[in-house]
Amino acid sequence: MCGIAGIINPPGSEADPSLLRHMIDRIRHRGPDDSAVYVKDRAGLAHARLSIIDLTSGQQPMHNETGTVSIVFNGEIFNFPELRDGLIKQGCRFRTRSDTEVILRLYELKGEDCVHDLNGQWAFAVWDARQEKLFVSRDRVGIAPMFYTQAAGAFIFASEIKAIFADPRVARRVDIAGLNEIFTFWVNLPPRTFFENICELPPGHSLVLQDGAVRVACYWRLDYPTSGSPRHIDERECAEQLLELLVDATRLRLRADVPVGAYLSGGLDSSVIAAVVRRYTETPLKTFSVSFEDAEFDESRHQKEVAGALGTEHCEVPCSYGDIGRVFPRVVWHAEKPILRTAPAPLFMLSRLVRESGYKVVLTGEGSDEIFGGYDLFKEAKIRRFWGVRPESQMRPLLLKRLYPYLPKLQAQSPAYLQAFFQVGDSYASSRLFSHLPRWELTSKLKMFLSPEVLQSSAAEDPYHRIEAQLPEGYDRWDPFSRAQYLEAEYLLPGYLLSSQADRVAMAHSIEARYPFLDHRVVEFANALPPRLKMKVLREKYILKRAAGGLVPESIRNRAKQPYRSPDSQSFFATGAREYVEAALAPARVARHGIFHAAAVLKLLEKVRRGQAIGIKDNMAFVGILSTQLAIDQFIDHFGEVQ
Amino acid sequence: MKNILRQFITDNFLFGLQGQSFSDDDSLLEKRIIDSTGVLELIAFVDATFGVKVQDDELLPENLDSINRLVHFIEKKSKAAA
């Protein structure tokens, strides 16, 4: 991955190379190996390079032979050797061995349709001076970031918002509707972001700027079979096909001119990827993990077990409460929006370890839970629906006890309270958003901390109406399980897991993460399967576990799902954190920013300080409010001062 | 007792925000005033303040899910202990 930025000024106004240099300097962490700026009349492109493929001749911005088409590209096209061979057969000539040049040639041949041929993770921008046209594209599932805005007649884009803010024509303001979305869904619904007038290009979309008009179009979307579609599937054959696909997806993602490592969480998904590398390739593998001093979060025993079984060279970074608190402001700087959990912070530390170990690229198991139905939320929705059919049942509530075994405080609840909490058999039943409403309703309670002015302003729009308006054609005909998968994969995956918790904290230390489970062939294969092969009764990721038979240790294959989590509010009161926390949440600062109710925030701070914030809601509120305050400090009040 | 309970709930779960009003009969769960673990904070407070220990089989919304239900439950338990 790299960093890209660009400006297309209105006709007659030449792009300013020093401004482009300033923009790309803001995101040099994405590409510390090289950087360059190109200006031609009103168009300017900038690139910060993380050299991974074709280390000697892949410099960007890159141009066609006549200099009329130019590209900046962030990401990887994993099938570029095959595409290149095909293009050579069609008469194309290449000057480099890079994937960038393959995109350039494909664009010249196919125009906007070039994206359909690509297997990879990308955000790129092509300036076609022949047509005075900018073509921008982002990968199918949203691995590589891309933001844009329009100011003073100029179109400005970049991999990260901080590069866009380097242009003094761009106003830096909080978008209250964007904040309202984060305090409902944890994420923004693209194109909206946390900042007013800053747009995110949605995953699977391309953008064209021509004649002053912006056109955004979807070229790929998640799709699922219609509910009840009869389809006989041989499970053994299906598991074999899946393994074959995963092997190929992983093999493609080992293509690099630098060594590739892998994250190991101790769970099934990353273990499968590491095992595929060891079993099906000749690649020696180094694996990386986070361990926690608090046993509630620590999975190092399982990580070591997998590393030992697979014979990888393994190293880990220990993470204490204090560590999380100390790195958190840097994490917010990279996430560029409020976050409601601290989970990105340990991964920020992990990418630092990878960098210090001399690696630039890691494989991860991200995406598997979305496409194979691994999260407890899917199980929860299934139980709620099952129970809702017979709300008077005395047996069905007992199933709720099987949810979230890793949350001891939730396990301490009586069945009666679990029933009330999970809202079984209530008015949610008819909602199109059924699976996610308990989570979103709980998150929405954080809005009670908003100041009266912000609360009033945010009431102008109902986030549920907005998300319902975005649901695709066919959504209502999908199985309820598929609908839950869609909501998770369409929104939380790109908006949080692949960004705040992946790309942004990995690129903070110039590390590129690659995701074999998110190869679009794997995604399409998984999405086409009937839900019964994903969750069999209440056994999650059934078909993946079947495919992984004999590949990973049985104890890992049969291990109950433990999602990656990290300590929240208790992380902020060690030396190195307490001081900035007290400053960020001081009543005068909170009142000055005007987003939150200062007195209520103070009471929350006191509760956290006393160690009494044990619930999910209090913890989310604390982390969400703190990160919002820090984001405003860093991006609005003191933007020029942050390094 | 009602006032003590209301003050605790207002301070601890609503952080003093007066706009988040609730009646003595309102369900604390349905109004999402307490989350799934908030009830654990509530029973710790009831124990510490009124000396009433909530047994596992008493951990029911009908005992704890509104101010009036709490008052009734605490009084019943206190009388039984007396």
Q: Minimum mean pLDDT among A155-159, A317-321, A333-337, A502-506: which range? A: A317-321
Q: In this structure, what is the dihedral angle of CA atoms A480, A484, A485, A490, given to the nearest 10 degrees?
A: 130
Q: Kindly tell me if the per-residue pLDDT of A65 is higher than 90.
A: yes
For A575-612, b/e burial (b = at least 16 CB within 10 A) is eebeebbeebbbeebbeebebbbbebbbbbbebbeeee
Q: Kindly tell me if the per-residue pLDDT of A643 is higher than 60.
A: no
From chain B, the residues in CB contact with A414 under 8 A are 56-57, 59-60
Give the residue-averaged pLDDT of A60-73: 96
CA distances from A352 to A157, A213, A318, A346, A512 (A): 27, 41, 12, 10, 12
Q: For residue A523, what pLDDT is reported?
A: 98
Helix residue ranges per DSSP H, A375-462? 376-389, 408-411, 415-422, 437-444, 452-458
Q: Is A309 on the interface with B (CB under 8 A)?
A: no
Query: What are A402-417's pLDDT values in tens digits?
Result: 777 666 666 667 777 7
Question: Which of B17, B39, B56 shows the shortest C-beta gap to A448?
Answer: B17
pLDDT band, residue A43 (cuts 50/70/90): very high
From chain A, the residues in CB contact with B73 under 8 A are none
Query: What are A242-251's pLDDT values in tens digits?
Result: 999 999 999 9
Q: Do B35 and A420 touch (CB under 8 A)?
A: no
Q: Is A412 on the interface with B (CB under 8 A)?
A: yes
B38 Cβ contact partners less than 8 Å away, ≥ 6 residues apart: A615, A617, B13, B28
Facing residues of A72 across strands? A125
Q: For residue A424, what pLDDT is reported?
A: 54
Q: How far is B82 from chain A (nearest CA, A)?
A: 27
Element of type H or E holding A200: strand A199-200
Query: What are A118-151's pLDDT values in tens digits?
Result: 999 999 999 999 999 999 999 999 999 999 999 9
Rounded to whole angstroms, how far apart are CA atoms A130 and B47?
77
Q: How far is B61 from chain A (nearest CA, A)?
A: 6
User: Comparing A50 with A562, which gets the higher pLDDT?
Assistant: A50
Q: Do A410 and B32 touch (CB under 8 A)?
A: no
Q: How far is B15 from chain A (nearest CA, A)?
A: 5
Q: For residue A563, what pLDDT is reported?
A: 78
Pairing of strands A154-158, A147-151: antiparallel
Give the residue-averaged pLDDT of A54-81: 93
Q: Minimum mean pLDDT among A4-18, A381-395, A466-480, B39-53: which range? A: A381-395
User: Comparing A122 with A419, which gets the higher pLDDT?
Assistant: A122
pLDDT mean across residues, chain A: 93
Question: Which of B17, B32, B40 shows the shortest C-beta gap to A409?
Answer: B40
Q: Do A421 and B36 touch (CB under 8 A)?
A: yes
Q: How far is A285 from chain B (nearest CA, A)?
A: 42
Question: Which of B20, B34, B35 shows the shortest C-beta gap to A448?
Answer: B20
Q: How far is A440 from chain B (nearest CA, A)?
A: 12
Rounded to whole angstroms, how far apart are CA atoms A216 and A269?
34
Q: Do B61 and A421 touch (CB under 8 A)?
A: no
What's the pTM value of the predicted model, to 2 decimals?
A: 0.94
Q: How far is A305 from chain B (nearest CA, A)?
A: 33
Rounded to whole angstroms, how far apart are CA atoms A18 and A37?
9
Provide the chain A residues 443-472 that lie in CB contact (below 8 A) with chain B. Answer: 445, 448-449, 452
Q: For residue B81, what pLDDT is reported?
A: 79
Contact A263, A288 (CB under 8 A): yes
Provide the chain A residues 334-393 that lie in CB contact (below 8 A) with chain B. Answer: none
Rounded to whole angstroms, how far apart are CA atoms A466 and A177?
11
From chain B, the residues in CB contact with A420 under 8 A are 27, 29-30, 61, 65
* CATH number where B6 lies: 1.10.1200.10
CB atoms under 10 Å from CB of A435, counted, come to 25
pLDDT band, residue A594 (cuts 50/70/90): very high
Q: If you search the block for the tokens 């202990």, which residue do you land on?
A: B81
Query: What are A162-212's pLDDT values in tens digits?
Result: 999 999 999 999 999 999 999 999 999 999 999 999 999 999 999 999 999
Give the residue-averaged pLDDT of A374-390: 85
Q: Is A583 on the interface with B (CB under 8 A)?
A: no
Q: How far is A86 from chain B (nearest CA, A)?
A: 58
CA distances from A31 to A28, A73, A125, A513 (A): 5, 12, 17, 14
Q: For residue A299, what pLDDT is reported?
A: 92
From chain B, the residues in CB contact with A603 under 8 A are 11, 15-16
Contact A261, A361 (CB under 8 A): yes
Q: Minimum mean pLDDT among A123-127, A419-423, A594-598: which range? A: A419-423
A476, exposed or middle or buried, with CB in 10 Å at 0-12, 13-18, 19+? exposed
Range(s) of the domain holding residue B34? 2-15+23-81
How far is it between the farthest Cα atoms of chain B?
A: 39
**Residue A249 in 3-state DSSP?**
helix
Highest mean pLDDT among A279-283, A347-351, A554-558: A347-351
From chain A, the residues in CB contact with B12 under 8 A are 607, 612
Instruction: Report the alpha-carbon angle A145-A147-A152, nearest 5.
Output: 165
Q: Minimum mean pLDDT among A15-24, A348-357, A393-402, B67-76: which range? A: A393-402
Q: From edge to edge, which strands make up the β-sheet containing A62-63? A: A62-63, A69-77, A120-128, A133-138, A205-210, A213-218
Supply the DSSP symbol for A643: -
Query: What are B15-53's pLDDT values in tens digits?
Result: 988 777 899 999 998 888 887 778 888 988 999 999 998
Give Rg (Cα) of chain A: 24
From chain B, the residues in CB contact with A625 under 8 A are none
pLDDT band, residue A423 (cuts 50/70/90): low
Facing residues of B28 across strands? none
Structural domains counted in chain B: 1
From chain A, the residues in CB contact with B22 under 8 A are none
Closest chain A residue to the Cα of B12, Cα to Cα: A607
Residue A44 CA, chain-centre distance (Å), reads 28
Q: For residue A409, what pLDDT is reported?
A: 65
From chain B, the residues in CB contact with A441 under 8 A are 32
Q: Do B29 and A445 touch (CB under 8 A)?
A: no
**Most B-contacting residue of A414, A419, A428 (CB-CB within 10 A), to test interface:** A414
Q: Do B36 and A414 touch (CB under 8 A)?
A: no
Give catalytic residues of A, as residue numbers: 2
| Domain boundaries along the sequence of chain A | 3-218, 239-432+471-567, 569-641
Q: For residue A230, what pLDDT is reported?
A: 67
Q: For residue B40, what pLDDT is reported?
A: 84
Query: What are A536-552's pLDDT values in tens digits?
Result: 988 899 999 999 999 99
Closest chain A residue to the Cα of B21, Cα to Cα: A448
Q: Do A409 and B37 touch (CB under 8 A)?
A: yes
Q: Do B16 and A600 touch (CB under 8 A)?
A: yes
pLDDT band, residue A355 (cuts 50/70/90): very high
Q: If you search the block for the tokens 């703190």, which residue do you land on?
A: A626
Question: Which of B14, B27, B41 shows the shortest C-beta gap to A612?
Answer: B41
Closest chain B residue to the Cα of A427, Cα to Cα: B30
Q: For residue A641, what pLDDT is reported?
A: 75
From chain A, the residues in CB contact with B14 under 8 A are 448
Q: From edge to edge, which strands make up the β-sheet containing A313-319? A: A313-319, A286-292, A260-263, A361-363, A512-514
Q: Do A417 and B59 touch (CB under 8 A)?
A: yes
pLDDT band, residue B71 (cuts 50/70/90): very high
Question: Which of B32, B39, B40 shows the shortest C-beta gap to A441?
Answer: B32
Chain pair A-B, CB pairs under 8 angstroms: 75
Closest chain B residue to the Cα of A602, Cα to Cα: B15
Q: Kindly tell me if the per-residue pLDDT of A279 is higher than 80.
A: yes
Q: For residue A245, what pLDDT is reported?
A: 98
CA distances from A299 to A267, A341, A348, A535 (A): 8, 19, 17, 24
Q: How far is B23 from chain A (nearest CA, A)?
A: 18
Collect all residues from B whose CB is shorter than 8 A from any CB in A: 11-12, 14-17, 19-20, 27, 29-30, 32, 34-41, 56-57, 59-62, 65
Q: How far is A383 from chain B (nearest CA, A)?
A: 17
Element of type H or E holding A19: helix A17-25
ipTM: 0.86
CATH for A239-432+471-567, among 3.55.50.30, 1.10.10.10, 3.20.20.70, 3.40.50.620?
Answer: 3.40.50.620
From chain A, the residues in CB contact with B16 under 8 A are 599-600, 603
CATH number of A3-218: 3.60.20.10
Q: Is A421 on the interface with B (CB under 8 A)?
A: yes
Q: For residue B55, what pLDDT is reported?
A: 85
Q: Is A600 on the interface with B (CB under 8 A)?
A: yes
